[in-house]
Structure 1
């Protein structure tokens, strides 16, 4: 999401697919709409923000609309190149803004359609844990990693998108791959494992059973809470099972915890008086919760009332 929390002023027309308009679309609009979900996913994985990804789509469309389609050999690759360049420009700007962000910054959570979870590689790439790992890469490293490892683009296509030579892109890809491998979850965790951990977590929180909560938390678990200065949240990471359990024990009994699919994985939505208050996602290693990510900033919760479609 943009650091101000603003939504694009208008995402209608070519940016919002309407099947009733398909027959009336011109070739440029038809090509853009056909790849819209892919372009959104590329931008979101690079930015960790749906609002900024939508802005990138607007900018991509404006440039695409002026392209001579007769000179375009591969429309998908061309559109991805435009979107990547726009996302890189925005990512460099956002990096400066996030330096002044109040408290920990977390990606904007998305209520995702079931088919996202069915694509294991896509779900892994948009998980909160992975997006936080990608945040530790430089903008160019992040773009190269996403385009190569997630979307399987050829090195020459990536080189065009990021403005580097193929040799440089290969080196960047190798460096980024090693960086991510050292920080990503050690094993692929099945949705059933995540769901079971979240169910145990939910029961512990709802019953106030501190021991049950400690049993599911790793000794070195880290809790990140993102309030953006608008909601109460820890100003720094909370580390250690005891400290994390103490913070979680403050969840009011009036809150309701509801299972959901967020960023392709099981998660919990905390509601107060029917309104979304917090979205909680987790990272699991060796059967225990090692990372808890609680997004409370209301400007980041607007995409939690409707499903977001993503694709590769």
Structure 2
């Protein structure tokens, strides 16, 4: 008896565009998608309630916002627009360090790191910039301050926190450190350095990975970063040890604070970006906008629509150049900028 032959089914194809050719692939089954979603619906529901972390701003967000505000001022602002620009500059001038470090999860203030450390002339080498070894020293001092500050936050275990930085009982030993240099710092300058936990610690961890950021006050940007692998060591047993319970609770709390600080700082930065965008739409980016050259009637185009002719003699350009210099200076006072802008009207 001849074997029974099954009828050959015609496959179903869909067109899927792949540059630069078109490929034919079998259509996905709908039931597989529904089963997949139902299988992992409980997992998705548990993570859906977690707040979404805003994206990390560009590394040069501070200088970019200052330049954009400067363009708005140089184009020409009304009295209210000038006050709005000055308010944004005031925030940038007073909160730049907290926002730059906080956006990456670094906690500032409260003696958590090395703050307002003066760069001395002797720290430069024959190449005319701060020698690379000094950044390691900055990170080392910041790390010691970061550990010791827990003694004041947790006074009940203050002695144990201080003992972590001594070769007694349980201590911390540097296993490795890696430095990444962003630009050459020079004298004079001031730096601040902060540490953070790279991952959430657990009771079984025998080491901690710490990230450190070193900020230049003169340039108001990151000068260097370090990655540090710290081993928890029991000097009595002469072997590795797990995170002490008193330290584990504090580190887990710090981890939660880091996430909250990153969320808050990033939201703050993106709010400033939106404010600057609004200022741009009110000045040079508004429909039909023409630059204020200082005359009573401003600037108008000739009949050809190509050349711009000022109605009155421009005598205010020196003042506007002075405003631009004030904006470019990192330590420019917002009130000074506002006073010079007022003279334009």
What range describes the TM-score normalised by the shorter chain of this pair? under 0.3
Which structure has the highest helix share of the two? 1
* TM-score for the superposition, normalised by structure 2: 0.19
Point out the structure with max Rg over C-alpha. 2
* TM-score for the superposition, normalised by structure 1: 0.20
Which structure has the highest strand share of the two? 2
